[in-house]
Amino acid sequence: MPSVVPARALGFIAVAGAVLGGLNLWVDGVLRPGLGRAVYAAMMVMLLVIGLYFMTLARLSYRAVALLIAYGNAVYVVVALTTVNAHLYAGPLMLLLALTAGASFLEARGFVVQLLVVPPICWVGLSNSELAGRALMIQVVVQSGVLVLAAMLVYGLRMRSERLLRETELMSTTDPLTGLANRRAVEIEAERLWQEVADERLLLAAFVLDLDSFKVLNDSHGHAAGDTALRLVSHAIREAAGEAGVVARIGGEEILVLHRVASMPELLLLGERLRRAVADGPLPHPLTASIGAATAATPDEGAAVEGLWRLVDAADMAMYVAKREGGNRVATAGELDLTP
């Protein structure tokens, strides 16, 4: 469950509930006169105000969502107790708004709590009616059961939609052959990476690795062998980069590693670790990599993606230097000034 949810959707639900509930104020014989009618009107006005306020916001905290849904439950209890006959004028169907909101926005634990309170709330509401004894019990079971099943259906559809969304997002940011990040994923990470190095007063390092003699491997053993080797190399590089590194495939056999470093010696140590991960890796056919490295401090605000690719371009040029010098080595471009 995200820490924030869309506010306008919940605001609309609250406004709709207040408007529909307010119609009872204009029908004679529905509400108890005196205090009951005043309390009913106050609850509807408060719900309307909350809904209109939420519609002016962009996002809501999870706590605000939970409190609004709890208030929706309380509104039904008040409505049921202030009508002349809850069975006729305030059936448990009125809980559907709160249940729909809960199924749409609550996390699993909060949603279960919401489901558990439905039967007792229905009992309280329907107690203010001509129903009694077995008839009351049956109506509580039937109506609360239908509401719970409807809410569970909405919740199930939401879970399925969220899963499909996560899978789609993963596919759009993942290289299908190696399982590494792709260029889009790198750009998504750009602002976070620059912010982290700025906060920690470090440098962002880019390593571009190009496999030496990879075309020879493909020509000699076939593209299937090349694909297998590329997957194994990708796994080895990801392990060598560690959890703090961002590893992406940016070309045919080019792999990008982004990492935070504090100094040039640390840059060289990390580059050597990446080189050895390829050269010493458990590959069916021997492979080495030419590696170019470059570092930079945080670029000006708003230039995160552009600055990142300029850094990668510098590392790419250094990689060609390493390749011209015989491959299986690390060449550095030094520290760049990326300010526009």
Q: What is the pLDDT along the chain (340 residues), one digit of tens a residue?
A: 444 567 888 888 889 888 988 888 888 888 888 898 899 899 999 999 999 999 998 888 888 888 888 988 998 898 889 988 888 888 888 888 889 888 988 899 999 999 999 999 999 988 888 888 899 999 999 999 999 999 999 999 999 998 998 888 888 889 989 999 999 999 999 989 998 988 899 999 999 999 998 888 887 888 888 889 899 999 999 999 998 899 999 988 899 999 999 998 999 999 999 999 999 987 878 889 999 999 988 776 668 888 899 999 999 999 999 999 999 999 998 666 565 4
| CA 248/CA 183 separation, integer angstroms | 7
Q: Name, in order, each residue with C-beta under 8 angstroms of 185's C-beta and a sequence gap of 6 or more.
A: 173, 174, 246, 248
Tell me if the pTM is above 0.85. Answer: no
Q: What is the topology classification, in CATH, of domain 183-336?
A: Alpha-Beta Plaits (3.30.70)
* CB-based burial, 321-332: b 16+ in 10 Å, e otherwise: ebbeeebbbbbb
Chain mean position to CA 224? 35
Residue 312's nearest CA partner among 242, 209, 185 is 209
| CA 316/CA 329 separation, integer angstroms | 14
**Which residues belong to the active site?**
253
Q: Name, in order, each residue with C-beta under 8 angstroms of 303's C-beta and a sequence gap of 6 or more.
A: 338, 339, 340
Residue 257's nearest CA partner among 240, 280, 281 is 240
Phi-psi region of 131 (alpha: psi -120 to 50; beta: other; left: phi over 0): beta
Residue 186's nearest CA partner among 312, 336, 18 is 312
| Cα-based distances in Å from 29 to 37, 87, 173, 276 | 11, 14, 61, 84
Q: What are phi and psi of 240, to 5 degrees?
A: -70, -35
- Domain parsing of the chain, residue ranges: 4-172, 183-336
- Alpha carbons within 13 angstroms on the beta-carbon side of residue 317 total 10
For residues 333 and 318, the answer to whether their CB atoms sit within 8 Å is: yes
